[in-house]
Amino acid sequence: MVKQPHERVEGRAVSMYPAQWKLVEGWAQDHGFTVSLALRQIIREWSECKGLDCRLVDTRTEDSTREASHESA
């Protein structure tokens, strides 16, 4: 799914076990993301691994990826 300019994020409640929240929150903190952005990024990476055309456009994610690649170069 490609995010269109007129689309907005859809807020929903998600139930997970405490250990699952801890993993997501840790991943978010390690990458400098919010929990919401971390979940979107995890889903985007999962869809890419599965070969799905489910690109989620999130400029913060793309900018962070570019910055990380420039810093490591």
Structural domain harbouring 54: 18-72
With respect to residue 12, please indicate whether it lies within any of the assigned structural domains: no
Q: Could you tell me if residue 4 is inside a domain?
A: no
Q: Is residue 1 part of a domain?
A: no
Is 5 a member of any domain?
A: no
Could you tell me if residue 22 is inside a domain? yes
Could you tell me the two tokens for 71?
Answer: 């810093």
How many distinct structural domains can be found in the chain?
Answer: 1
pLDDT for 66 beyond 50: no
Across 28-63, b (16+ Cβ under 10 Å) vs e yields beeeebeeebbbbbeebeeeeeeeeeeeeebeebee
What is the reported pLDDT for 44? 86
pTM for this entry: 0.59
Per-residue pLDDT of 2-47, as tens digits, reads 566 667 778 889 999 999 999 999 999 999 999 999 998 988 888 8
Expressed in angstroms, the distance from the first to the final Cα of the chain is: 31
pLDDT on residue 57 = 47
